[in-house]
Amino acid sequence: MTSQTAIPCLFMRGGTSKGPFFNEADLPADIPTRDRVLLAAMGSPDKRQIDGLGGAHPLTSKVGIVRKSTTPGVDLDFLFAQLQPDKDTVDTTPNCGNMLAAVVPFALETGMLQAQGAGPEGCSTFRVLTLNTDMQCDVTVQTPGGQVRYDGDARIDGAPGSAAPITINFLDTAGSVCSGLLPTGKVLDRVRIAPDDKLGGFESFEIDVTCIDNGMPLVMMRASDMGRTGYETVAQMNEDTELKVRLEALRLATGRLMGLGDVTKKTYPKMTLIAAPRDGGSIATRSFIPHVCHDAIGVLAAVTVGTACVLDGSVCDGVAVMHPGATKKVSVEHPTGEFSVALETDPANPQSVTKAALLRTARLIMRGEVMVPRSVWTRN
């Protein structure tokens, strides 16, 4: 008898993230055992994740769990799990718009769904409910001949080459984790941060922030208010210990202001520094997730940044370059390119975002079984 348990999975790239996707029925039903299985599968906690599928980075320490939905009008339920290379945590609180791009391809590949459009130019649209935040979206993939198409001309910054486009239309993202779009009740907050020797010590400072959640809880601030340009490289940001200490102190304080309680062990809110665009976009960003500077920016973080750009009085006022109209394309610049989000606003209330749409790509990388020790889980 083998000393390991085999669990079917597909290893997939979704947007600029990747990880194993599981049919919920193939995992343990009780959450503590399930989480131990996911940690073993990914090789956490270990900074190199040498004994698992993880890629030694938060963007490659992600898991997707999918099932057929019983919710009327919904095709699939998706549970996203964020693991960390060197921690034994499995966080199913936040969403991940990148991994979301691979949910429908996974369901089609595994026979959970059947393609709707099987002609030469066929497309299939399915509704997905993200269980993390009870948010629904419509996902459209190309399915010529009834099969998922992965090759194509669509390009997204942060992923090499090109692929078939996957369109995601978010139906309701405001207050995904927090109580509402503006969890503090204000579009702009002035926060004073006192020295904290536990974090490494720093001088007190005051700063204007916008605390916002339109798919992902973010704390946004002008990079110049932190003494930075907002154009630093990812390596420079990650080596900037003084900045990271101050950001963490600010994150802990604003987490409480946002009604999230003690966020010390939580992966949100994300911290986002902004600056004026310099490559033809709408705004430049440096996003921390929450302690490592993102090589790009998360899907739902980009949606939330775009939303802040259309709110009068936010930290984006006077920084973002926006054009008039009910439908606004916000090009969010990040360290490896840009991320475009199409936002529709309510003509009667221009500060109310009614729809968010974006383009992603995905690819099936490997299919098979991941092995975990039987000491972690023995399938009945």
Stretch 320-328: mean pLDDT? 83
Q: Is the pLDDT of residue 54 over 90?
A: yes
Which structure tokens are listed for 274? 């902004």
Report phi then psi at 276, rounded to 5: -65, 145
Specify whether 38 is located in the same domain as 84: yes
Among 1-5, 56-60, 240-244, the minimum mean pLDDT is found in 1-5
Q: Does 175 map to a domain?
A: no
Structure tokens at 73: 């009008």
Least confident of 133-142, 170-179, 202-211, 284-293: 170-179
Q: Which residue has the higher pLDDT, 309 or 324?
A: 309
CB under 8 Å to 225, separation ≥6 — which residues? Answer: 207, 208
In-domain check, residue 209: yes
Return the number of other C-beta atoms located less than 10 Å from residue 153's C-beta. 8
114 and 257 in a single domain? The answer is no
For residue 283, which of 240, 225, 221 has the smallest C-alpha distance? 221
Quick one: 303 and 216 in the same domain? yes
Q: Is 98 helix (H, G, I), strand (E, B) or coil?
A: helix
**What local confidence, expressed as pLDDT, does residue 251 receive?**
97
Q: Could you report the per-residue pLDDT of 103-147, keeping only the tens digit for each?
A: 999 999 999 999 997 677 789 999 999 999 898 999 999 999 999
Are residues 230 and 148 located together in one domain of the fold?
no
183-233 pLDDT, tens digit per residue, is 999 999 999 998 876 777 788 999 999 999 998 999 999 999 999 999 999
Domain assignment present for residue 130? The answer is: yes
Residues 6+ apart with CB under 8 A from 332: 281, 282, 283, 285, 297, 302, 305, 306, 338, 339, 340, 341
pTM for the full predicted model: 0.75
The whole-number pLDDT of residue 1 equals 61
- For residue 177, being part of any structural domain is answered with no
201 plus 272 within the same structural domain:
yes
Task: Examine residue 120 and state whether it is found in any structural domain, yes or no.
Answer: yes
| 135 and 218 co-located in one domain | no
What's the chain's average pLDDT? 93
Distance (Å, whole) CA 303 – CA 315 = 16
pLDDT tens profile 340-366: 898 887 777 766 788 888 889 999 999
Give, for 207, the enclosing helix (H) or strand (E): strand 205-213
Is the separation of the CB atoms in 106 and 141 below 8 Å? Answer: no
Count of structural domains, the chain: 2
Average pLDDT over residues 46-65: 97
Say if residue 193 is in the same domain as residue 340.
Answer: yes
Domain enclosing residue 309, as ranges: 189-360
- Taking the C-alpha atoms of residue 300 and residue 99, their distance in angstroms, rounded to an integer, is 11
Give yes or no: residues 109 and 210 share one domain. no
Short-list 110, 257, 119, 260, CA closest to 177: 260
342: CATH = 3.10.310.10
- Flag whether pLDDT at 156 surpasses 70: yes
CB 110, CB 99: distance < 8 Å: no
Q: Does residue 326 carry a pLDDT above 90?
A: no
Residues with Cβ < 8 Å from 336, sequence gap 6 or more?
157, 158, 295, 296
